[in-house]
Amino acid sequence: MSVSSVSGKMPNVEFVPLGRAKEVKQGVTIISAANRAGVPIGQSCNGDGICGWCKVKVLRGMENLSPPTALELRLMAACAFAPDERAACLTKIAGDITVTTGYW
Ligand code: FES
């Protein structure tokens, strides 16, 4: 359990190098947090876990994310995700994280 969830503080999602951040409720997906922060993020399958365009690199707080589901594990293998990369549409936030992409 993260420090954030223990304290009751809302998780903070930092988008670098954009200099943007957004507080969200626990259980919100990374892609939803990006949308709420006005941060552009790739997607073509509307969160069905097929395209892999929503891939983000987690710079901090990997332990504050939901474990990959079977669907995400299949996507990660198919799209050759690195160990520090997650599908933003499938990954739920439980505590503070910092993410980036190659196009921000
Ligand atoms: S939006 Fe397609 S896999 Fe996430």
- List, in sequence order, every beta strand (DSSP E) within 1-104: 12-15, 20-23, 55-60, 85-87, 97-100
Q: Is the pLDDT of residue 2 over 60?
A: no
> Are 57 and 82 in contact, with CB atoms under 8 Å apart?
yes
Task: Give pLDDT, residue 103.
Answer: 97
- 6 C-alpha vs ligand 1 centroid, how far in Å? 30
Which of 32, 54, 99 is the pocket-test mutation for ligand 1 (most atoms within 8 Å of CB)?
A: 54
Q: Half-sphere exposure of residue 100, counting CA atoms within 13 Å on the CB side?
A: 9
Predicted model pTM: 0.92
What are the C-alpha distances in Å from 59 to residues 14, 38, 46, 65? 10, 20, 24, 12
Top CATH class, 3-100: alpha beta
Tell me the three state secondary structure of residue 23: strand
Quote the pLDDT of residue 1.
Answer: 47
Q: What is the mean pLDDT of residues 36-56?
A: 96
